Structure 1
Amino acid sequence: MRTRNTGPTRVGLFGILGSGNLGNDGSLDAVINYLRERHPAVELDFMCMGPDRVSAQYGAPATHLQWYEARGEAIRWLPGPVAKIIGRLLDPARTLAWVRRQDVVIVPGMGVLEATVPLRPWSFPYSLYWLSRLARLTGTRVALVSVGADFISQRVTRWLVTRAARLAHYRSYRDAHSRNAMWEMGIDSAADDVYPDLAFALPAPPAPAAGTGTVGVGVMDYHGDNDERAHGDELHRAYLGKVKGFVRWLTDNGRAVRLFTGDKADEPVVREILADGPADRISAASVSSLDELMREMAAVDAVVATRYHNVLCALKTCRPTVSIGYAAKNDVLMASMGLHEFVQQARSLDLDTLIAQFTELERRSAQLQRILAERNLETRQRLERQFAALSAALFPAPAAVEVR
């Protein structure tokens, strides 16, 4: 048990942060903005995948989430499997040393309770389990804030994430689907709240007054979900072929195309699409944050995207959007913003249907932008309630002392 802190509240931020995933980092930005605005005296600390980047950006100490990744070149002499086993054995002790220094640990958004992309149980689920377990041991409060969840069929992964969630001091989800998934996996989530994704709390850039003639296409290094590993390459080829076909249709019909990504893993997909199309009609955005991505998206007329946070940014900037989803969360998000009819699944993407959906999207552009503006206002109001609830749970005001 750590000693009681009598100074400023120490807040740790934990997750796959600073490693190139724009959605995860955007959720972190939203929580940092909230802390600095409402609890400016807190002392920040991080345990994440990109500690150097995060520390430089926020001016606070940061520790690498995993020993194996942190050591890098220093352990090249060890066989890879041996080094990973050593790391897994050392990581609980490293997490204990970090978590005992914190009063509160926040896991900011992210799909930490799902396996909608290929995921091994001994990667982040293992890290999250030890965070929650050791936080209980040391008396540190853990908050899973507006996180994503989905039913996990792989038993070990499911056991790790449900135990981690059960041990958390505070839980909220970014949609009702996530809360229901946790219930299905055995967590009593009835008292847990549902609020919008944290990235909706980020400021949105102004949109241009007139159309630009450019269509945004958000791509992903898609290989199916955790249960489709055996068919990952096949799914990837089929998805990429359909996206290329759609981009060619756009350029053949006089549109310029701006390519977007949401993770550095998507960059090879962008290069392949650029090589396949006319150089004077296709370009790629280079962004390092959700703020920059939203500025890029505000400058196009419509968006067709796959990654969840690409879709979210498009909706937040009131861009009429078609989602080529890889998980239920995409469809749930689109329905919440009034665009439920403009969805497809990446694993079964149909090019003719996509063209028809996009054509209808353009025809109804003005109407859809009005709907998105209304939904964004409601979403922001709900996130204000999320932050108020979080403050009440983690930073309660000192009890008043009656003077006689």
Structure 2
Amino acid sequence: MSAVRVGVFGLLGSGNLGNDGSLEAVLGYLRTEHPDAVVDALCGGPEVVKARYGIEATRLHWYGGEYRTASRAGAIAGKGLGKLVDIVRTASWVRRHDVVIVPGMGVLEATLPLRPWGFPYALFLLCATGRLFRTRVALVGVGADAIRERPTRALVRRSARLAAYRSYRDTLSRDAMRAMGVDTARDRVYPDLAFALPTPAEGERPASTGLVCVGVMDFHGGNDDRARAEEIHRRYLDGMTRFVRALVADGRPVRLLTGDSCDSPVVAAILDAVDSPLVTAAEASSLADLTKEMAGADAVVATRYHNLVCALKAGTPTLALSYAAKSDALMERMGLGAYCHPAREVDVDRLLEQFRELEKRAGELRQTLAEQNLIVTGQLDEQFRELNSALFPAAGRAHQETR
């Protein structure tokens, strides 16, 4: 019998470290539990995925400018034609696999600006062709949220219904899908897949230096904030700049971190505005790099969801600048629910007050995180065992029948 053919799907290799971390966790699982599986990807950045993870990869969209704003007639026509071509391309890719895994990511949410004809359409094509060709599509540890925009909501709901397997990274996500009309009676909730990645050993953690890691984001609000996106961004950038300046005034070294390639201008703006040798920027290329940076800090203040995951996994006292309910849910799960601050309305005085309280309780919070990380690790082991029973026996039978 030939090896099981497994595809991974998503905006992978496109510059978002959280997405790539979820992929890395699933590849680690496959290489441990199913070393003979033949794995390839349909993804946003195939060159990066090939080079970094050693698997074959195909570009997700036929039209190369899919995620650039189309204003000229040629670009609009290219996007429209791409939607038709992608039907054939996706179907051809899906039918070559026994199982397709969508690893983590917020694929069922619109907490950041999102158009229905972009990734929601691509996900729908995946799940529809999976059902057509009897390829089991698994949404593993994904994020979801209530979506108001009708076309996006319809595509997301239909995709979820067509998937053969679903699990979520928090209860909030499962509840959101239930509210949108998806039967979630058999769906399970597990921690974010990135918690399955390795953690720096205790011996690798340097002694306290007073360092504060500040994770920033090119934040403009979500799908429902488009009318005031620039105002939200200016307020967020001003708040983060003032916060970093206050830390520097206290003599604290600050390390600026990002989670996506698009965040670099925010780092540059803060460096330029604060202009202090105490403020430096990290060049992290993976969640492992971020986790190592955060493990060496006394405290972390971060915005991006997977910056928070890395900090909490590293066991470092963390304060979240929450841009969506998923951040609050994550902090609550890990025992730090009191340390959340709204990213849309940064109040620097209140943020500094929360930060000082966080540092006063640092020893207690480190112990809390150590205990929660043990629980999370056990829950992810259970997630992977469930995948074994839910996906691979069926895949093996289907492949044998095809042969």
Instruction: Give the TM-score normalised by the residue count of structure 2.
Output: 0.95
* 1:298 to 2:295 alignment: yes
Residues 42-82 of structure 1 deviation map (CA, whole Å, 9 limit, x = unaligned): 0011000000111122322211001112799xxxx972111
CA distance in 1 between counterparts of 2:102 and 2:206 reads: 38
> What code does the residue aligned with 1:384 have?
D
Deviates more, 1:218-227 or 1:207-216: 207-216
CA RMSD of aligned residues (A): 1.7
CA distance in 2 between counterparts of 1:161 and 1:37 reads: 31
> What code does the residue aligned with 2:371 have?
E
Q: What SS does structure 1 have at the residue aligned with 2:344?
A: helix
For residue 48 of structure 1, the aligned residue among 24, 43, 54 is 43
Q: Which residue of 1 aligns with 2:361?
A: 364
Q: State whether residues 171 and 193 of structure 1, in contact with CA within 8 Å, keep that contact through their aligned partners in structure 2.
A: yes
* 1:109 to 2:104 alignment: yes
Q: Which residue of 1 aligns with 2:254?
A: 257
CA distance in 1 between counterparts of 2:263 and 2:83 reads: 28
Q: What SS does structure 2 have at the residue aligned with 1:224?
A: coil
Q: Which residue of 2 aligns with 1:20?
A: 15
For residue 237 of structure 2, the aligned residue among 235, 240, 251 is 240
Q: Pairwise mapping of residues 334-353 of structure 1 onto structure 2 (< 5 A)? A: 334-353=331-350
Q: State whether residues 113 and 148 of structure 1, in contact with CA within 8 Å, keep that contact through their aligned partners in structure 2.
A: yes
Q: Which residue of 2 aligns with 1:313?
A: 310
Q: What SS does structure 1 have at the residue aligned with 2:3?
A: coil
> What code does the residue aligned with 1:361 have?
L
Q: CA deviation at 1:109?
A: 0.2
CA distance in 2 between counterparts of 1:237 and 1:78 reads: 32
* 1:395 to 2:389 alignment: no
> What code does the residue aligned with 2:393 have?
P
> What code does the residue aligned with 1:236 have?
H
Q: Which residue of 1 aligns with 2:401?
A: none
CA distance in 2 between counterparts of 1:348 and 1:190 reads: 37
Q: What SS does structure 2 have at the residue aligned with 1:338?
A: coil
Cα 1:131–1:257 change in 2 (3 A) is same
Q: CA deviation at 1:161?
A: 0.8
Cα 1:361–1:71 change in 2 (3 A) is closer
Q: Which residue of 2 aligns with 1:130?
A: 125
Q: Pairwise mapping of residues 50-129 of structure 1 onto structure 2 (< 5 A)? A: 50-69=45-64, 79-129=74-124
Q: What SS does structure 2 have at the residue aligned with 1:106?
A: strand
Residues 305-341 of structure 1 deviation map (CA, whole Å, 9 limit, x = unaligned): 0000001100000110000011000000000000010
> What code does the residue aligned with 1:203 have?
P
Deviates more, 1:224-233 or 1:272-281: 272-281
Q: What SS does structure 1 have at the residue aligned with 2:64?
A: helix
Q: Which residue of 2 aligns with 1:267?
A: 264
* 1:149 to 2:144 alignment: yes
Gaps of 5+ in 1: 1-5, 400-404
Q: State whether residues 15 and 47 of structure 1, in contact with CA within 8 Å, keep that contact through their aligned partners in structure 2.
A: yes
CA distance in 1 between counterparts of 2:140 and 2:147 reads: 20
Q: Tell me the number of residue pairs that the alignment of Structure 1 and Structure 2 aligns.
A: 392
Q: State whether residues 66 and 118 of structure 2, in contact with CA within 8 Å, keep that contact through their aligned partners in structure 1.
A: no
Q: What's the % identity of the aligned pairs? A: 56
CA distance in 1 between counterparts of 2:243 and 2:320 reads: 13
CA distance in 1 between counterparts of 2:185 and 2:370 reads: 31
Q: State whether residues 206 and 298 of structure 1, in contact with CA within 8 Å, keep that contact through their aligned partners in structure 2.
A: no
Residues 373-397 of structure 1 deviation map (CA, whole Å, 9 limit, x = unaligned): 0000000000000000001111128
Q: Which residue of 2 aligns with 1:172?
A: 167
CA distance in 2 between counterparts of 1:69 and 1:379 reads: 39
Q: What SS does structure 2 have at the residue aligned with 1:47?
A: strand
> What code does the residue aligned with 2:39 have?
L
Gaps of 5+ in 2: 398-403
Q: What SS does structure 2 have at the residue aligned with 1:347?
A: coil
Q: State whether residues 64 and 70 of structure 1, in contact with CA within 8 Å, keep that contact through their aligned partners in structure 2.
A: no
Cα 1:229–1:38 change in 2 (3 A) is same
Q: Which residue of 2 aligns with 1:216?
A: 213
> What code does the residue aligned with 1:156 have?
P
Residues 130-184 of structure 1 deviation map (CA, whole Å, 9 limit, x = unaligned): 0000111111000000000000000000000110010001000000000000001
> What code does the residue aligned with 2:258 have?
T
Q: State whether residues 303 and 343 of structure 2, in contact with CA within 8 Å, keep that contact through their aligned partners in structure 1.
A: yes
Q: State whether residues 302 and 319 of structure 2, in contact with CA within 8 Å, keep that contact through their aligned partners in structure 1.
A: yes
Residues 252-275 of structure 1 deviation map (CA, whole Å, 9 limit, x = unaligned): 011010000000000000000010
Residues 190-226 of structure 1 deviation map (CA, whole Å, 9 limit, x = unaligned): 2100000000000111352521211000000000000
CA distance in 2 between counterparts of 1:389 and 1:255 reads: 46
Q: State whether residues 117 and 225 of structure 1, in contact with CA within 8 Å, keep that contact through their aligned partners in structure 2.
A: yes
> What code does the residue aligned with 1:46 have?
A
Q: What SS does structure 2 have at the residue aligned with 1:180?
A: helix
Q: CA deviation at 1:345?
A: 1.2
Q: State whether residues 63 and 78 of structure 2, in contact with CA within 8 Å, keep that contact through their aligned partners in structure 1.
A: yes
Q: Which residue of 2 aligns with 1:37?
A: 32
Q: What SS does structure 1 have at the residue aligned with 2:108?
A: coil
CA distance in 1 between counterparts of 2:284 and 2:273 reads: 22
Q: What SS does structure 2 have at the residue aligned with 1:396?
A: helix
CA distance in 2 between counterparts of 1:288 and 1:154 reads: 34
> What code does the residue aligned with 2:380 have?
L
